[in-house]
Amino acid sequence: MGPSWRTRVEMSILATVIAVAAFAVFLLSSPEAARESVDRQNSGAASPGASETQHEVTSNYFLGSHNCGECHSGEWTEWQSNPMYHSTRLISDRISDEDFSSPEFSTSPHVKYTVERRVNSVFHHELMMDDQSRPVFDQAVEVSYVMGSGQQGHAYLISKPGMLFASPVNWYSKSQQWGLAPGYDPAGHQRFERRVTDACLSCHTGRVADDPAAKDRLLEPAFHELAIGCERCHGPGQQHVDHHRDATLADVIVNPGKLDSARCDAVCAQCHLQGVERVLRPGKTDFDFRPGQLTGDVWTIFVDRSSELDGSTRA
């Protein structure tokens, strides 16, 4: 007599359990898992246990790039010629490369934008015109920050208490003209009310004074460091300084060249691998990544491998 129905079910469950256990052993012995257990001491990366609260633990250990220059003057001088050093500036602090001689453009016969430069400020105007090209209204908004090195162009940010907004006006360097910002539909858009998010600020600015109690909100002043600096790729510098004052203390500064390939790539991929979608892991913010981590420690990034014929993906 063959096995009973109950016996067959029990055997099926046992086989499933064995298969799952075997697959788990395979994953744990894979190269990816081996990389997870790499000894990080030589690379200066934080231990896995520390990474869960790394933002909170290390936020007070940032120094700012100008302090790095005291000992690393050559690297600091060279960095100041890098486009990333010019990622974001106060509108009043920069030498203008825009053309203010023809500072206007239209998106329709009835909508016109103009840029007005004053002594220490810049205003963007949106005008609605009637059928005789007479202005029905003129909304003038002062811009506080300019974003972008200028190699491709500049975007402009409007500051309000605890928040930043994007202007619909951009400067395009290659065509040397003003135009509507990317993502704005000429037929209808958010005008001067498009919020600038944590995800945007985490990659296009240096270090933000983010409000831990609310997403996409800032403290005052809004920035600890406006432009992308040394600590973006090397990690917070305070403990590095402390080590050189007291050699008994650990030096946790990160040299990306000494990281394993996955963590070295992650230093760039934190911003240059956008994928189709980036989803924050539970409890994480867009400001939590630290050099020495994997991008997967902070985000799940979905990529479309069919976007290129050879199967590669775009940053």
Q: What is the pLDDT along the chain (315 residues), one digit of tens a residue?
A: 455 555 555 666 555 555 555 555 444 444 444 333 333 434 444 443 344 444 455 567 999 999 999 999 999 999 999 999 999 999 988 667 899 998 999 999 999 999 999 988 999 999 999 999 999 999 999 999 999 999 999 999 999 999 999 999 999 999 999 999 998 999 888 999 999 999 999 999 999 999 999 999 999 999 999 999 999 999 999 999 999 999 999 999 999 999 999 999 999 999 999 899 999 999 999 999 999 999 999 999 999 876 555 655 555
3-state secondary structure of 81: coil
CB 215 within 8 A of CB 205: no
* CA quadruple 277, 279, 285, 291: dihedral, nearest 10: -70
pLDDT at 301: 96
Going by C-alpha positions, the residue among 300, 285, 296, 299 that lies closest to residue 54 is: 285
C-alpha span between 192 and 88 (Å, rounded):
19
3-state secondary structure of 151: coil
Under 8 Å CB-to-CB from 142, ≥6 apart: which residues?
Answer: 121, 122, 123, 158
C-alpha span between 221 and 291 (Å, rounded):
25
> Letter for the amino acid at 50?
A
Under 8 Å CB-to-CB from 80, ≥6 apart: which residues?
Answer: none
295 CB neighbour count, 10 Å cutoff: 21
pLDDT at 187: 86
